[in-house]
Structure 1
């Protein structure tokens, strides 16, 4: 299952730092996200792109995780020659992170799941 099946993201960037929030569609999935979307997994997912640290902040009241990735934008948005190295592109890439399957109790549980709740 992909992270995008149970969460969406928001992001931003400043200088050479990307900030990505991962927000569960259903707050009941937050413990699953907290267990499986770790700073180490995010760093491994962006291996070769992020040259600095990945720090995770937990926001359980919002059902969200926030990641701060230093050394993530090739020296900064205005200095990088990479195509779309901004935070928004990185948040979309993070949603491709593979996770273990999660049982869905109802087909319409996650509004952005285009497969009627079924896993691809």
Structure 2
């Protein structure tokens, strides 16, 4: 019984370090976020979000960081995704990208690089 409690406490301590204000479910969830995963989300629900000193932008399509080698791009409707994820989608769809949040289609040429300050 004690081992189960230690295991549960250890799991929640780890999730508390990872949980952020952006953690969500459904279409809003990040594919690589353990606290967004349906199974672990229940354990993380009562925990407060961690205090992060540095922010990282993660692509909601690929779950990968958006940085200088994979910059964020803004679609005409305002949604932001990584260039590599949009480029892969465009290559498979004759230059079209589909926003997974709204299901709107756009030409990749209409996406604009975002600059984070």
Which structure's relative contact order is higher, taking Cα pairs within 8 Å and 6+ residues apart?
1
- Larger of the two Rg values belongs to structure: 2
> Which structure shows the higher strand fraction?
1
**TM-score, normalization: structure 1?**
0.24
**TM-score, normalization: structure 2?**
0.24
> Which structure shows the higher helix fraction?
2
